[in-house]
Structure formats: structure tokens, C-alpha cells
Structure 1
Amino acid sequence: MWRKAVAAAVLALTVGYFYHTDPELPERLLQYVSQSSPSPEGTPSTPTIEQTISSAWEALISAPARQWSRVAVGVNACVDVVVSGVGLLQALAVDPGQGADHEVLHSKEDLKEAFVYYMEKGAAAERFFSDGEAFQRIARAAAEYPGAQLYVGGNAALIGQKLATYPQLMVLLCGPVGPKLHEMLDDQIVVPPESLQETDEFHLILEYKAGEQWGPTRAPQANRFIFSHDIANGEMNTLETFVASLEEFQPDLVVLSGLHMMEGQGRDLWEERLKEAVVAISDIRNEVPIHLELASMTDKDYMNRIMQEQVIPMVNSIGLNEQELLFLSQAGAGPHAELVSWDGVPDVGRVSDILLWVMEQHGRTNPEFEADLTRIHFHTLAYHILVTVDGYWGNQVAAVAAGARVAGSQACGLESIDATKVALRAPRDFHSSHSEPREHLSLNPAMPVTIYHRGNVTFYLTPVLVCKQPLRTVGLGDAISAEGLLYSEILQQHEQQQ
């Protein structure tokens, strides 16, 4: 016994001596011992839950039996210019001063005042710049500013870029495409000559950091101020060109976006233009499925017009996030419309209630209904749900898993999921509805797509492995929808009727 005590004392003295000469030695010894020591009975270390889910996705994600070969995408496209807000305004020889909000920007002075107003609050905002010539001068200065980053922008262009990463796919993109955007687009993307413009539509994104100071103004948190002079996208000017180009291109899938841009043009314009848009969309051949990508809107009348007699019943599939889903319900007095906003991770039961309501009110849950909507791809930070009317779509387990996989990898700027850089934030237990009768469900990491049914509507839910330190989240929703569509298969008519 005394020998063990002496040995322990000598070891303690030795470690103590080396600690004073090399303080990091004990930690290095610990790492060496832990790395070199075999697991009990030679078994490998237990994989993390993130590793288990990621590996399970790889087994689940397989290509559909019938893949798309030609996809047409339209109609909003632009160049996003991300630049230091303070730096750009200084380069424009604008002095700091008092902030003031402006609904529309008419000059550099208006821009400065609005930027300062929102920088002081640390709040995001987006404004229209009315003077086209002045805006182009500012846009050129922004694009040439040191450190400025130029990206493909606009939902349609972003979806087109994602689809074009698959070499077997031919992609047609129609939208206001200027020289810079054309240069940035993937070589695989076909742009109709009629939609090419002499100048680009720029969206300027003026960023500021937390604590950044300009004159008397100090930003309490990091955020961005966005402005543009974007009439072509705002009026969906290329929609008719898009529809006309489909006859020659002969796509087997059409992806439509940009309706949200019209909302900012005022009621007089959107009322008339929406009618024209509906006529144009109705000219697309019935046998070609249409996916509509929604985006943020604030006008309930406009949303109702899109949702009811106008656009949503005419498309086969829609993609949207949690804010857009709740706004649909608020605009149409649907389930949980009393919620002002989601509190943290949106409750799965409430989300499922609204998705079912959209499908039953505006979809083809009954074969006798005239509506064509049979698929909704919902995405939020922590999880995704794909909802389909039975008999219309195939391979949806793979589709929802593929959408979640790209959310985790693209946010981290990686080609594939790195399980050490992502975290599971989805609920482990949830319900199929917020009200009775409801089914209690649990997430199984080894089989991470949970399937549940409500009538003849099937729900496919999978968690997202959320990137811990995201590099860029702009366009993530567009990538998710594109990936989900790539793995989706619309069933042939005779299969639907069986």
C-alpha cells in the first residue's frame, strides 16, 4: 500500500514540475491518452446525433425514377451588391448627421438620413430609390468600392443557379438580366435574348457592424439597409417573355417567383398587373407542373388575391417559410391567425394545421376541385415539412431530406454536411396537430423523416442540422426549394387515377 502512495506522490511531483516548465503539458498528455486509449472491447466511439442523422439522409436520398431534364425559371433577377454602408456614403462625399425615415428615397441626402435612422436602431429596412440616373451612379460606386461583394440575386436567378449545378439539367432563366448578371450566371443557363438588358438591376445592401460609429450615430447591433431602383422586377416586366419562351424551350417543370415584388408598386398597379399575370400563367401547358416560390409580403389584400381566385390554385407546388405561412393564415383568417409571430421554433402542430388548411382551401384534396395545388414545401430554421395530396407526387422522403441537407451544408459554405459544424435544434417530440385529435410523434435520428397523415394529405418532416457559424444565408430558401424539386417526381395521370 505504501509503495502505491509513494508512486502517486512521485507522479504528482513530476507533473507539478513539468507544469511549471510547460503549463500546457498536462492537457497535451490528456489528449494523447484519450486518443491512444482504445474504446472498451475495441468498439468505435458512439456517433453524435448529428452524424447519425447525416448518415441516415445519405441512405434515404436517391434520385427519382423520372428526373427533370429541362426546367424553366422566372422572373425576378438582379445583382446583389453587399458593401460597407458607412464606407460607401463616405465615398459618395456625404457627411454624417441626423437620421430621418423616408418611405421613398429621392436623393443621396434622403439615403443618408434613412441609413442613419435605421443604423441608430440597429434595424433592417428596404427602400425604393426614385431617381434612376442617380441610383445608377451610386450603384457603380458601390460595385467599385474596395471589399464590395457581388452576388447573383433574385429568387428566380438563385433557383436557376442551384439547378444548374446538376449537369444533366438544362435551365432556362428569364428575367431582367444585365451584362454583369449574365457574366455571373452558370454557363449551363440559357437566357432568352428578349430578357437581356443594357443595364443590370442592382440591389444595394449597405451593411454595418455592431458598435460601428459614424459621426454621432452608433449601431447597437449589426444589420443591413437595402435599396434599389428596380422597376423591371417590381412590375414583373419579363413575365410575358417568359411564358412565350416556353413553347420553344419545352420544359418539363416551370418555377415561378417574383410576385412579392409587385406589392411595393402600389394597389393600382398590382391589381391590373396581377390580372395580366394570371392570364399569362394560364397560357402555360396544363401538363407542365408549376412551382411557385413565395417571399415576404405585408399587404393582406394582395396576399388574399394571390391565394384565392388568382395564382395559388393555378400552380401545382409552392415553397415558403414560417413568416410567409403565418401571413397566409392571417390574410385568409385561417388556423392560428391570432398569432402575431412565432415564438422561437414554430410549433409543428400549428404549422401542420395551417398547411392542411391551405391545401384543403386552395388545393386539390378532392379530385372534383378545379385547383391544381398538390404540394407544399415548408422550411424553417430547425426543420422542414413537405406536404402532398396522395397520388400526385413521388420520392418525397428523398426530396425533404435533400432540402434539409443543402440547408446545413450551404449555410456553412461547404459541399457536404460537416457534423462538427452543425447542431440539431428541431424538437425531439411533437404533435401532428395543435388540437385534438392529434398524434404524438418522435424524431428518430436513424430514420430522420417522420411521416404522418391527415385525411388524404401526407406530411414528411425532417430536422435541419443548423450551421453553428453561418457564412451566408441569403438565398438559402431558394436553394432548399430547388433541391427539393430536383428530387421530386410528379406522377403520371394514369398513376394518379389508380
Structure 2
Amino acid sequence: MWRKAAAVALLALAVGFFYHTDPELPERMLQYLSRSLPLPSPQADLNTPSLEEVIASAWQTLITAPARQWSRVAVGVNACVDVVVSGVGLLQALAIDPGEGRDHDVLTSKEDLKETFIHFMERGAAAERFFSDKEVFQRIARAAAEYPGAQLYVGGNAALIGQKLATYPQLVVLLCGPVGPKLHELLDDQIVVPPESLQEMDEYHLILEYKAGEKWGSTQAPQANRFIFSHDVSNGEMSALETFVASLEEFQPDLVVLSGLHMMEGMGRELWEDRLKEAVVAISDVRNEIPIHLELASMTDREYMSNIMQEQVIPIVNSIGLNEQELLFLTQVGSGPHSELVSWEGVPDVGRVSDILLWVLERHGRTDPESEADLTRIHFHTLAYHIIATVDGHWGNQASAVMAGARVASSQACGLQEVDVTKVTLKAPVQFHSSYQEPRESLTLNPSNPVTLWHRGNVTFHLSPVLVCRQPLRTVGLGDAISAEGLLYSELASQP
């Protein structure tokens, strides 16, 4: 034993001597030793499940249905037909050359389309814009429909959420929105469409998709995503809103899901200012005991978002769903935490996201029991992980809800009904913090119980990692599927 100790001491002295004469020598020695020592046999790891396998298995075991499930869900008010094509391929077919990226709030030409598409493609970020020139849009839409491989799907947040909810046979789903003949044909038979929602012509939205690593000129996409644009006046004016609210009395839903507010942004301030007030009045007519979930989407007009966030819509709904771009825009508009950020770099920092979610609930929600606001739940989703933040005492089964949303993101992106662990990868941080600032809690992801929980005041946070599809087949509608699945596994807590 003493011989081994003496040898170790001599080795330490030798390393110390050489470090002073050549500081890089110890590192070179370690590299040499690591190359020289035999590596463990790959056979030793064959029986060890991967992190992806452990998480997928845990989801199957831990996700449980709520004690009280919804039976009738009303969804409105944006609906359309999505034409899904390769973004780069379509732009090349339109004889558009690559160039520099630049964001435009409203698209007025093919040049605006090119610049805005590049702006978001190089960031790998989703976005949606209104195309103001009807004739140019129709020419682009015809080219998109004729492009090889173009596919037509149910589109619009409300229709997509309704379509996802309709996969559960115990649910009756009411959908209000501008439903043309092609969309009606594509909708699930289980979805009820009021006669007042039917119209002679469909509204078309063009979805330009790109893959991770795809190049166009000097632009390369860091991850797969899509850019959406349309000239959609029916949805842009939320023309089905009054029909939607009027239908609720007869339909008697126990949950209302609202979307489409973002479509009004491109119609100009004169329209949205008055229409937003009318929307608030209509939403306020929904009975208090029926929870309302609002699905947000990409917006750029700060004043419009400020109206939605403060004295208008967000305080009168119970739940909202949004992604990382929409959350950052909320805090930028309201000068909230981390509003100095221009954009997220890579995977959004969990601590920063947690700070902003808490701020939204404290500023515009019901964290104070004396508050007149109704907002008590936010479902946040980004590529690598999801968080549901709730005010205590209002919602139940949120661990299952956040896992269910993550699971459907993992399977649907790969075009599958179930998660295939050979086609997904874990990109969520394994260690993170409950806040970006002190005091903060250090948190660790446990793959065998993949919901990390923490509290800040009377707000509870549930985080689940997402198993990210390596080669996603379709990114459109993922956020809607995530929110729908999260709602299906949620329940209202019994109120005293």
C-alpha cells in the first residue's frame, strides 16, 4: 500500500514540476492517456436505456386523465385551408432571387415576402404576416397550389384545435369560423359547424416550410420551422365572432377556446381598434362559469398587443397559450422582465421564461384574490421544453397536461401517432434555475419523472422536456395541438 502511495506522490511532484516548465504538458498527457487506455465495450451499454427511452416510457406511465373531463368544447373563430409547400422551392419557382433578410409588419409585394421569409428563416423562427395586395397574393396562391408536392390541410388555429379535440370520441366539438367547401370536406365528421359559418369560398393560407440546415443563398435555417402569410379578410375581421358567441347559448359548452385575434392586426388600426372593443364585449357575454382559453399567435404591432394585454382581452380569459416569440413580444410591449432582449439565443433560458410568465400572471392575472382579472393559467411552448404556470387553487392535473402537450409535439412533428425514440432527441437543459436573478432555485431534470415543479409566491410552474423530432415532417399546427392536448388533460379546480 505504501508503495502505491509513494508512486502517486512522486507522480504528483513530477506533474507539478513539468507544469511550471510547460503548463500545457499535463493536458497533453491526459489526452495521450485517454487515447491509450482501452475504451469500455459498446456491449456494456446495450441494456442501458437512453434518456429519450426513459422519458417516453415515463410519459406512458405518468400521464393520467383528469377526474372531470370536458364533454362539449366550443372553438372559434379563425379557419382556413392551409397550402403547405417548400418555402425555398416556391420562391425559386416565382423567380425570386435570395438576398438579405428584413422584417415587414405587412407584406405588400413579392420583395417584402422574400425579405421577411429570409429574416425568420435565418433565425429558425415561426411567423405569420398579412399580404395586402389581393391580386398578387392570388397569383402566388395559384403557384403554390400547383407546386409539386403541395398539400392541402385544415388550417387556422381554431379549426386545427377543433380537429385535434375531435380525435377524442367522448368530446362534442363546435367550430365557428369562415368554413368554405374544401375546408368542410377536410374537417372531422365529429365537428359541428353552425350553418351561419358556412361560406361559398374558402380562405387560403400559404405555409412556406423549411428544414433544419436548409440553405438559400447565404441563409441557412438553424432549425425546421415555417412562415405563414395570407390575404384573409374574413378571418382578418373576425367576422364569425358574433355567430360564435351567439351559438354558445344553444351549444352549452363546458370549455371555450378562442383564437384569431392576430388576424386583425394586418387590417389597420381603424378596423382593429373598434373591432377589438366589440370582441371584448362579445367575450364578456360568455357565462362566467365557462373557462375561456385564448390561443395567441405571431404579432408585430406593439400598440395592438398592448390593447390586447392590458385593458382588453388577456385579463378576461382564464388561460392563454403561446410560444417563445409571442412571450418575448408580450414583455417587450409591457416593459416587463428581460424586455431588453431583441430575440432568444438558442433554447430560451428557463429562468428568464419563468420570470416573464410570473410577471404576466401578476400584472394581468389573478394572483391577487381581490383582482378582477380572470387569467390563472399560461401554457408556454418552445422547441425543447414546455411550461405550464398556474395560480394556485384554480387548475388541476397540470403535470399530466404539460407532459401530454410535450408528447404530442414529439410524435406529431415526426408524423406519427406515438413517440418513436429512434427519431427524437433531447434538447432541453438538464440543469436550470427557477429565475434568472437571485434568489433563485437550482433545478434538475429527472428523466424517470420528467416534470420539474417549482413555486414562486402563489404560482406553480410545471416543466416538461420535449423529445425533438430529428427530421420533422410538418411543423404547422404543432402549437395548436400542444395547447389542445394540454387543455384535454386539464381540469378546473373546485372553487369554494
Q: TM > 0.5 between the two? A: yes
Whether the 8 Å contact between 1:50 and 1:465 is mirrored in structure 2 is yes
Q: CA deviation digits over 1:348-382, x for unaligned, max 9?
A: 11111111111111111122110111111111111
Matches within 5 A, 1:19-38: none
**1:255 Cα offset (Å):** 0.3
Pair member with larger Rg: 1
- Alignment correspondent of 2:84: 82
Q: 1:145 Cα shift?
A: 4.6
The match for 2:186 is 184
Give the CA deviation at 1:323: 1.2
1:384, distance to aligned residue in structure 2 (A):
0.8
SS in 1 for 2:463: strand
What letter is aligned with 1:147? Answer: G
Aligned to 1:255: 257
Distance 2:253 2:227 in 1: 38
Measure how far apart 1:225 and its partner are. 6.6
CA RMSD of aligned residues (A): 2.9
Displacement, 1:205?
3.6
1:231 has 2:247 as partner: no
> For residue 276 of structure 1, what is the amino acid of its counterpart?
E
How far, CA to CA, are the matches of 2:142 and 2:433 in structure 1? Answer: 52
- Between 145-154 and 379-388, the greater mean CA deviation after superposition: 145-154
Deviation at 1:89, TM superposition (A): 8.1
Query: In 2, Cα distance between the equivalents of 1:352 and 1:96?
Result: 41
What secondary structure is seen at the aligned counterpart in 2 of 1:151?
strand
Q: Counterpart of 1:273?
A: 275
Answer whether contact 1:235 1:265 (CA < 8 A) is retained. yes
1:341 to 340, 343, 360: 343
Residue 321 of structure 1: CA displacement? 0.9
Q: 1:482 aligns with which of 481, 484, 493?
A: 484
- How far the C-alpha of 1:287 sits from its partner, in A, is 0.6
Q: Secondary structure at 1:152's aligned position in 2?
A: strand
Aligned to 2:32: none
Counterpart residue number, 1:352: 354
TM-score, normalised via structure 1 length = 0.82
2:380 aligned to 375, 378, 381, which one? 378
Checking the alignment, whether the CA contact within 8 Å between 1:120 and 1:219 is kept in structure 2 is: no
- Cα distance per residue 1:431-476 (max 9 Å; x no partner): 1111121111111111111111111111111111111111111111
Q: Which runs of 5+ in 1 are unaligned?
A: 1-33, 213-217
State whether residues 119 and 219 of structure 1, in contact with CA within 8 Å, keep that contact through their aligned partners in structure 2.
Answer: no
SS of 2:432's equivalent? strand
Partner of 2:297: 295
1:187 and 1:397, CA in 2 relative to 1: closer, same or farther beyond 3 A? same
Match in the other structure for 2:172: 170
One of 159, 162, 177 as aligned partner of 2:161: 159
The answer to whether structure 1 residue 468 and structure 2 residue 470 are counterparts is yes
> CA–CA distance in 2 between the matches of 1:265 and 1:377?
28
Provide the rounded CA distance (Å) in 1 between the counterparts of 2:98 and 2:457. 58
Distance 1:187 1:219, change over 3 A: farther
Give the secondary structure class of the aligned counterpart of 1:309. coil
Q: Structure 1 residues 96, 390: closer, same or farther in 2, change over 3 A?
A: closer
Tell me by how many angstroms 1:147 deviates.
2.6
User: Contact between 1:118 and 1:125, CA under 8 Å: does it hold in 2?
Assistant: no
Amino acid at match of 1:404: A
Q: Is contact 1:70-1:250 (8 Å) kept? A: yes
Structure-2 residue corresponding to 1:12: none
AA at the equivalent of 1:336: H
Q: Which residue of 2 aligns with 1:397?
A: 399
The aligned amino acid for 2:389 is V
1:50-199 equivalent positions in 2, closer than 5 A: 50-83=52-85, 110-111=109-110, 113-114=111-112, 128-130=130-132, 132=134, 135-136=137-138, 139-140=141-142, 142-199=144-201
What amino acid is aligned across from residue 68 of structure 1 in structure 2? W
- Report the CA distance shift for 1:206/1:470 in structure 2 as closer, same or farther (over 3 A): closer
Separation in structure 2 between the aligned mates of residue 407 and residue 138 of structure 1, nearest angstrom: 30
Go from structure 1 to structure 2 and tell me whether the alpha carbon gap of 1:444 and 1:248 turns closer, same or farther (over 3 Å shift): same
Gaps of 5+ in 2: 1-40
User: Which letter does structure 2 place at the counterpart of 1:376?
Assistant: I
Report the Cα distance in structure 2 between the residues aligned to 1:98 and 1:472, rounded to whole angstroms: 24
CA shift, 1:82, in A, is 2.4
Compared CA separation, residues 50 and 371, structure 1 to 2 (3 A): same
The residue type paired with residue 181 of structure 1 is L
Deviations 1:128-176 (A, max 9, x none): 4455467556645643454321111111111111111111111111111
**Structure 1 position 247, deviation (Å):** 0.7
CA distance in 1, matches of 2:265, 2:75: 20
| Aligned CA distance change for structure 1 residues 86 and 367 (closer, same or farther; 3 Å) | closer
Equivalent residues of 1:208, 1:219 under 8 A apart: no
Cα distance in 1, alignment partners of residues 258 and 354 from structure 2: 24
The CA distance in 2 between the partners of 1:344 and 1:228, in whole Å, is 28
Letter in 1 for 2:327: L
| Residue identity matched to 1:427 | P
**Comparing 79-88 and 180-189, the one that deviates more:** 79-88
3-state secondary structure, aligned to 2:311: helix
Q: 1:117 to 1:483 in 2, by over 3 A?
A: closer
Letter in 2 for 1:391: G
1:310 correspondence with 2:305: no
Decide whether the 8 Å contact of 1:406 with 1:483 is kept in 2.
yes
2:65–2:489 CA contact under 8 A, matched in 1: yes
Deviation of residue 86 (structure 1)?
Answer: 8.3
> 3-state SS of the aligned residue for 2:464?
strand
CA distance in 2, matches of 1:265, 1:342: 28
Q: Which amino acid is 2:167 matched to?
A: T
Q: Is the 8 A contact 1:177 1:196 kept in 2?
A: yes
In structure 2, do the counterparts of structure 1 residues 225 and 285 end up closer, same or farther at CA, with 3 Å as the change threshold?
A: closer
After superposition, the Cα gap between the structure-2 partners of 1:147 and 1:317, relative to the gap in structure 1 and judged at 3 Å, is: same
SS, match of residue 441 in structure 1: strand
What's the secondary structure of 1:452's corresponding residue? strand
Contact 1:99 1:114 in 2 (8 A): no
Say which of 412, 415, 426 aligns to 1:413.
415
Query: 2:298·2:326 contact (CA, 8 Å) conserved in 1?
Result: yes
**Letter of the structure 2 residue corresponding to residue 263 of structure 1:** E
Normalised by the length of structure 2, the TM-score is 0.82
Partner Cα separation in structure 1 for residue 265 and residue 475 of structure 2: 24
- Deviations along 1:210-235, one digit per CA (max 9) or x if unpaired, are 567xxxxx575479775422111111
SS at match of 1:272: helix
- Counterpart AA for 2:414: C
Distance, in Å, in 1 between the alignment partners of 2:127 and 2:368 is: 42
